[in-house]
Amino acid sequence: AYRSDEGAPYVLPCVREAESILMGQNLEHEYSGIAGDPDFVKLSLEFVYGTDSKPLIEKRVAAVQTLSGTGGLRVFGEFLARHGHKHIYLPNPTWGNHIPIFQNAGLEVRKYRYYDTENSDLDYDNMISDIKDVPEGSCVLFHACAHNPTGMDPTMEQWAELSQITKDRKIMVFFDCAYQGFASGNAPQDAGAIRMFIEEGHNLALVQSFSKNFGLYGQRVGALSVVTANDAEKAAVESQLKITIRPMYSNPPRHGARIVKTVLSDPRLTNDFIDQCKGMADRINDMRIKLRGTLEEVGSTHSWEHITKQIGMFAYSGLKKDQVLALRDNHHIYCTLDGRISMA
């Protein structure tokens, strides 16, 4: 989670203001519907797809509120397993929780190459090669921005090629969007790959998390959406998503969704959120520059260029397990055994 310079959890001022507004409304605590707060869901979709998105205008996006990104991933995993999918393709490496989430949903996890550890860069040629070998009709998961754990994203030109390949092979594209606005500080830019795929005619699936960009880690706020062909298919997909959700957690919590809804429905608070989210992203990017600069200043002969090429909360340092353990044991500097460092 993002921390202040004092190491304390950071609450966005716009979130504090939204909470004050909600406190003054004397709201009740009735259950949400199975699909959650419809106004929150509508605003979430506009946030990621854009208000001018053709599928939104044509009202053919099936969507539900979820238990943040993790809950949305699990719901869609079970949805896939219920409707004929036996496997899902994930980048290697990926967020560690992706693997058990989809395995527990009943899917075989397969991987495509993503990162070149020797050169600390995107392994794009091998990624393309593996995607071309994916069986037609399979589901492939992409990180929409700020790939976790590597922080290395495809360029827009590379995304365009991936869009064409997946479309030609009738692949079901599933985006995990956990860092919109928090990666670059520009929410539309961070959704660029998603919007490109939509413009090129993909009927994709998407899970959103509001944990990082709104700092609502403990509120479990998210949304799951599926772009469909028409209104009838939208209704059928939403029905099946609700059938999946009902025995799993029945309905989502309300408070965090109310906070996001309060902010995104108010133009002034939305502008405040944009500025405050950019402030977090800029601070993380500044930390990257300082880390690389300090390592170079003290005489390290290793190339640290990848630290500033990466984006998002994490730096995939390239440190080996023995080096990580040496840092931990000798200097009390902590990161995961694969060398992932939190820059937040």
Closest CA to 197 of 50, 41, 40, 43: 50
d(CA 292, CA 28): 50
Structure tokens at 78: 């079970």
- Exactly one of 130, 153, 212, 234 is catalytic; name it: 212
pLDDT for res 106: 96
Strand partners, 99: none
189-193-196-200 Cα dihedral, nearest 10 degrees: -170
Are 251 and 32 contacting, i.e. CB atoms less than 8 angstroms apart? yes
Query: One-letter amino acid identity for 207?
Result: V
Q: Among 153, 176, 190, 272, which one carries the catalytic annotation?
A: 176
Annotated active-site residue in 95, 153, 234, 304: 95
pTM over 0.85: yes
CA 133, CA 279: separation in Å to the nearest integer? 41
Q: Which residue reads 């989430």 in tokens? A: 101
Calpha distance 166→180 (Å, rounded): 23
φ, ψ of residue 92 to 5 degrees: the values are -120, 105
Name the DSSP letter for residue 302: S
Q: Any catalytic annotation for residue 133?
A: no
* Amino acid 1: pLDDT: 84
Quote the CA–CA distance of 85 and 70 in Å, as a whole number. Answer: 19
Q: Residue 88: count other Cβ atoms within 10 Å of its Cβ.
A: 27
d(CA 63, CA 49): 12
- Which residue type does 289 have? I
The pLDDT profile of the chain, 344 residues, written as one tens digit per residue, is 888 888 888 999 999 999 999 999 999 999 999 999 999 999 999 999 999 999 999 999 999 999 999 999 999 999 999 999 999 999 999 999 999 999 999 999 999 999 998 888 999 999 999 999 999 999 999 999 999 999 999 999 999 999 999 999 999 999 999 999 988 889 999 999 999 999 999 999 999 999 999 999 999 999 999 999 999 999 999 999 999 999 999 999 999 999 999 999 999 999 999 999 999 989 988 988 998 899 888 988 888 888 888 888 888 888 889 999 999 999 999 988 988 888 87
Note if 212 is an active site residue: yes
304 is catalytic: no
Query: Which contacts qualify for 21-24: CB closer than 8 Å, 24 or more apart?
Result: 21/262, 22/255, 22/258, 22/259, 22/262
Return d(Cα 126, Cα 130) in angstroms, integer.
6
The single-letter DSSP state of residue 150 is: T
Q: How many Å apart are CA 186 and CA 179, to the nearest integer? A: 10
